[in-house]
Amino acid sequence: MNTLIDYRDLIKVSGVLSLTDCSNLNVALLDTGIFFDHPDFNSDKIIIPKIYNSKSEIIDNIGHGTHMAGLLCADCKGKTGVIGLAPKATLTIFKVVDDNGVSNITKIQTALDYILAHNSDFDLVNMSFDIIYDEFMRISDSIDKIKESGIIMLASAGDDDFLTDKMNFPAYSRSIFSVGAIKNQFLQLYQKNGFFQNVDFFYSNTKLTSTFLSPKLYTDMENCSPFTALSSGLVLNIIQNSKKQKNERFEFLQNYLHQLAYSFQELTSLDTNTLYKTN
């Protein structure tokens, strides 16, 4: 890559949102781990929870978590690289998806237990994985308790399947803000039939460039996961600007995000990096 990509300049919302560095906020990333040594990351702002014995336990070997981390918190200091939407935020890494891309419900539960036990340390949880209904039921109480503690959760809701009765978990939970991605050619279908009920917000499904698995290596990725990370970065900025107490944030964000998101009903095409609401 031979350019600097600053996602703070690329995200599009309805109205004015002041973007900050989010230096006082902490986001938990439940994903495939992270490649610590990418120069776009500030290692001082990446935390390994005490449930791990060593740094090696959360090394990312497939790149998904590293890509999400870049969109959230990359803070490139050079002329080429990536700056995420919340470049100064603290990033706490939980590896809950293995090197084959398979979610581990036991590790997910352990991560959620840790977040609950240290709830004052966290402001947001970003989740980009799918689990089956039975697994979701094992963690649903924890998710509800995290929401009640004032921590905001975002989860990926899937790609181009919002017209079906497929329920994506954990995004289906009403304690979570769910984010999807659709291709432009399906827009008219959604305008006619609406979205399935587990999707709150969505973006046009286009490629996003972010950090990857070696120094100065970047990759493109398209699906709902990168846009969930972008939304998490957006939410961190809203939290930072709002000065709301944690117990006020969920209801406030429900209203504020709907004000920032564009309606898709009268559109003929979707604009990239733009937040849309489903109702």
User: In the numeric block, which tokens belong to residue 172?
Assistant: 């289906």
pLDDT at position 163 is 58
Q: What is the pTM (predicted TM-score) of this model?
A: 0.96
* Residues 276/4/238/125 CA torsion (nearest 10 deg): 90
Task: Determine the structural domain holding residue 34 and report its residue range.
Answer: 4-277
pLDDT at position 269 is 96
- Residue 141: strand, helix, or coil: helix
Contacts of 69 (CB under 8 A, 6+ apart): 29, 31, 34, 41, 46, 84, 91, 93, 211, 229
Residues 9-68 have pLDDT tens digits of 999 999 888 888 899 999 999 999 999 999 999 999 999 999 999 999 999 999 999 999
Cβ atoms 209, 219 nearer than 8 A: yes
DSSP state of 86: S
- Band of the pLDDT at 201, cuts 50, 70, 90? very high
Beta bridge partners of 97: 103
Rounded CA gap, 276 and 266, in Å? 12
Residues 124-149 have pLDDT tens digits of 999 999 999 999 999 999 999 999 99
pLDDT at position 161 is 59
Look over the chain and give the mean of its residue pLDDT values, rounded to a whole number. Answer: 94
DSSP state of 80: S
Spell out the alpha helix ranges (H) of the chain: 64-73, 105-117, 133-148, 187-193, 224-242, 246-260
Cβ atoms 184, 153 nearer than 8 A: no
User: What CATH number does the domain containing 65 carry?
Assistant: 3.40.50.200
- Band of the pLDDT at 87, cuts 50, 70, 90? very high
Give the rounded percent of residues in the chain with a pLDDT score beyond 70: 97
Task: Point out the least confidently predicted range of 89-93, 159-163, 251-255, 270-274.
Answer: 159-163
Instruction: State the total domains in the chain.
Output: 1
